[in-house]
Structure 1
Amino acid sequence: MTTAASDGHQLAGLAALLADPTRARFCLALLDGRAWTAGELARVAGVAPSTTSDHLTRLVRGGLLVEERQGRHRYVRLADPAVAQLIEDLAGHHPPAPRPVRSLRAATADAALAHARTCYDHLAGRLGVRLRDALLDRRLLTDADGLALTRTGCDWLADLGVPVEELRGGRRPLLRDCLDWTERRPHLAGAVGAALCRRFAQLGWTVAGVGRAVRVTPAGVTALTGLGLAPAELTPAPPDPGRGGRA
């Protein structure tokens, strides 16, 4: 078998893993960066627990997931940031599908996710997109020849307590654009995007909400307003029960 033929079989096998709607829903749920049990994934995907084990075994064998066992419990998570990037990129090529109106509570939850959420380990939603815009506007980043940190940006990160040189030494890309599912514009991913997400939480600028939702605290509003974001951009818009979308 030629190299091209072998590569083709591998690519087809990977595509087949994600071609199943249940397995695809599992991978999308795991974009929150946590480890999930089979029962939790079965509930979020709306499938019977009896069918979940086989799907998860296929994803683990295919290298998309890794499993951890604690006593009788089996947990799975995405294998690494590269797999998360693959899932994000594939999902970003498909427009958000309208969801039927369910309740004001559900519409409020959807609005919170669209406003700010984690996308594996970095910030997404309107907050993530506007953060990237602000970093470019203040010339902390440049996209003149691919996305890159400026000297001012390196100094800003150092002052914030983000170890830039350590991030440069990792295997992960330092900076990467990730197409936002709800905004249809890029938010910031890569090692810097993940480090900012962690550091904002450590500083108390953001706190976890329901599921993947993230909420900006009063301290975060003050800090991010100083970075150039408008206060109105730091709180969710009122829910519109007449619209829906995938978060």
Structure 2
Amino acid sequence: MRQPESARRVGGDTDIAVIGALVADPRRCRILLALDDGRALPASRLAAEAGVSPATASSHLGKLTEGGLLAVEARGRHRYYRLAGPAVAHLIEALQQLAPALPVRSLRQHTRARALREARTCYDHLAGRLGVELMSAMIERGHLTGGDGVFDLAHARRDQPTGYGHDVDYTLTESGAELLADLGLHLPARRRPVRYCIDWSEQRHHLAGALGRGLLDRFAQAGWIRRTDTTRAIHITDTGSQGLHDLFGIDLTPS
């Protein structure tokens, strides 16, 4: 049974083998990856993602919930599951950085892998090439200050090749605040305005924090981007391509 937080703080070293056992099953990994875009999905959908029966999926979901990796909420007669928090999302990103790539045996797999690297969600913000180009553009245009968006492992102090960054203190400038006002974007006061992650596929910084979440939501509201139903990949619409070019100078032609 999952221990309360106060009980877990008492005792010896952390037992990472418990988490290791949870992510050692490929079916549970497929469930975690399906939820890595921050959405809550029903058990039936997650059973399909894992390629297992509803009863087997229920067992896996129970273990992931008991282990603290998933949270569950009831909506009428249905139960919806989501990642327990951003720390779980960063665990998944870190594992993706270390794990070998699956062999690509079809055009469909190749297309899917490329789409994830071009534009995807990282929990509640944009990642992939779109995410890092967006941050780079905001730095170049003076909307952010404090760093250059580059991850240098040789000189990193606390930063790792994936996950939240800590070495650079990015700040939103006056022109950045004006940009947000023009976009009709208001950042919640309860959350740190600007954070960054090291993007596992690009090895550069992408925006996180309230600003990262706000831009993702605003782009979706404006019809610039569209989530896909089956992966974390983000589709950039024609309107979005034009808007990103006009506002940020971003041109995501194939690299």
TM-score, scaled relative to structure 2: 0.75
User: 1:91 — aligned with what?
Assistant: 95
How much has 1:198 moved relative to structure 2? 0.3
* Alpha-carbon distance, 1:139 to partner: 1.6
- Between structures 1 and 2, the one with greater helix share: 1
What do the CA deviations read for 1:184-234 (whole angstroms, capped 9, x no partner)?
333211211011000011122222345332222333222211334343x1x
Equivalent pair of 2:30/2:50 in contact (CA under 8 Å)? yes
What is the CA distance between 1:146 and its match in structure 2? 1.7
Matched residue count: 228
- 1:75-99 C-alpha deviation (Å, 9 max, x unpaired): 21112334323433x2354155143
Q: Which residue of 167, 180, 185 corresponds with 1:157?
A: 180
1:29 counterpart residue number:
34
Instruction: Determine whether 1:52 maps to 2:57.
Output: yes
- Whether the 8 Å CA contact 1:140–1:150 is kept in 2: the answer is yes
Of 196, 206, 209, the residue aligned with 1:187 is: 206
**Paired letter, 1:191:** A
In 2, are the aligned partners of 1:114 and 1:126 still within 8 Å (CA)? Answer: yes
User: Is the contact made by 1:92 and 1:179 (CA closer than 8 Å) also made in structure 2?
Assistant: no
1:175 and 1:85 mapped to 2: Cα distance?
A: 17
Unaligned runs of 5+ in 1: 239-247
- Alpha-carbon displacement from aligned partner over 1:141-198 (angstroms, at most 9, x marks no partner): 123452221222122112211113xx2x21x432222232332333211211011000
Q: C-alpha distance in 1, partners of 2:99/2:142?
A: 31
User: Pairwise CA RMSD of aligned residues?
Assistant: 2.8
The match for 2:23 is 18
Q: SS of the residue aligned with 2:201?
A: coil
Three-state SS of the structure 1 residue aligned to 2:36 is helix
For 2:213, give the aligned amino acid. A
Q: What residue identity is the alignment partner of 2:105?
A: V
Instruction: Give the CA deviation at 1:60.
Output: 1.6
What are the superposed Cα offsets for residues 49-74 of structure 1, whole Å, 9 maximum, x if unpaired?
A: 43322221122223321112334432
Contact 2:50 2:57 in 1 (8 A): no
Partner of 1:138: 141
| Correspondence for 1:215 among 229, 232, 235 | 235
What SS does structure 2 have at the residue aligned with 1:8? coil
Change (3 A) 1:10 1:158: farther
CA contact (8 A) 1:113 1:213 kept: yes
Decide whether aligned partners of structure 1 residues 162 and 201 sit closer, same or farther in structure 2, where only a CA change above 3 A counts: same
State the TM-score, normalizing by the size of structure 1: 0.78
In the alignment, structure 2 segments of 5+ residues that lack a partner are: 1-6, 148-167
Moved more, 127-136 or 47-56: 47-56
Please name the residue that 2:81 is paired with: 76
Q: Secondary structure of 2:192's partner?
A: coil
Hey, what does 2:118 align to over in structure 1? 115
Secondary structure of the residue aligned to 1:39 is helix
Aligned to 1:243: none
Moved over 6 A (4+): 2-5
Alpha carbons 2:36, 2:122 under 8 Å: kept: yes
Matched, 1:226 2:246: yes
Percent identity over paired residues: 47
Tell me, in whole angstroms, the C-alpha distance in 1 between the residues paired with 2:186 and 2:195: 17
Q: Provide the secondary structure at the position in 2 that maps to 1:154.
A: helix
